[in-house]
Amino acid sequence: MKARNKRLILVGSGVALLVAAVALVLSAFQQNLVFFHTPSEVAAGKAPTGKTFRIGGMVEEGSIAREADGLTVRFAITDTAKIIPVTYRGTLPDLFKEGKGAVVQGRLEDGVFRATEVLAKHDENYMPPEAAHAVEQAQKAAQTVSQ
């Protein structure tokens, strides 16, 4: 075999390996991609069904209820326009409180959001930008409806 043919085979193999590696990385990225939705979008049916996504907003006042097992918690997330009921089994973050910002990740099943992860805001002035924008938009919409 000539040196030129060996070089072509080596370059072709390298390109094939590179394409396979890029395809694997893109596949893993697509599987781990999680979209953010507001409670209003979820209520309007714009959230994906059967897929994991995030909902952000405020924890509804008076909505936190703990089950007898001590791990399951029920609460509601709101953007001041719509309210989505949430169930979560696990330990909540220390900063998780009623009336404070939170982002929950999970799936929507039978009208209830089954959270697999709960993220609370960092301090009293912090709210995820998406959640802050959603609350602001919902408040503007509520003001125009009431006028």
Q: In angstroms, rounded to a whole number, what is the distance separating the alpha carbons of residues 48 and 96? A: 26
Q: Is 126 annotated as a binding residue?
A: yes
Q: For residues 55 and 72, is the Cβ–Cβ distance under 8 A?
A: no
Check whether 9 has a pLDDT greater than 70: yes
CA 138 to chain CA centroid, nearest Å: 19
In terms of pLDDT, which residue wins out, 126 or 88?
Answer: 88
pLDDT at 135: 73
In terms of pLDDT, which residue wins out, 139 or 70?
Answer: 70
**pLDDT tens-digit map of 24-33:** 888 776 666 6
User: How much of the chain exceeds pLDDT 90, in percent?
Assistant: 33
**pLDDT tens-digit map of 50-69:** 788 999 899 999 999 999 98
Alpha helices in 33-128 (DSSP H): 39-43
Q: Is 122 annotated as a binding residue?
A: yes
Q: In angstroms, rounded to a whole number, what is the distance separating the alpha carbons of residues 11 and 19? A: 12
Lowest mean pLDDT segment, chosen from 9-13, 40-44, 99-103, 141-145: 141-145
**pLDDT tens-digit map of 93-142:** 888 889 888 999 999 988 899 999 999 875 555 566 776 777 777 778 77
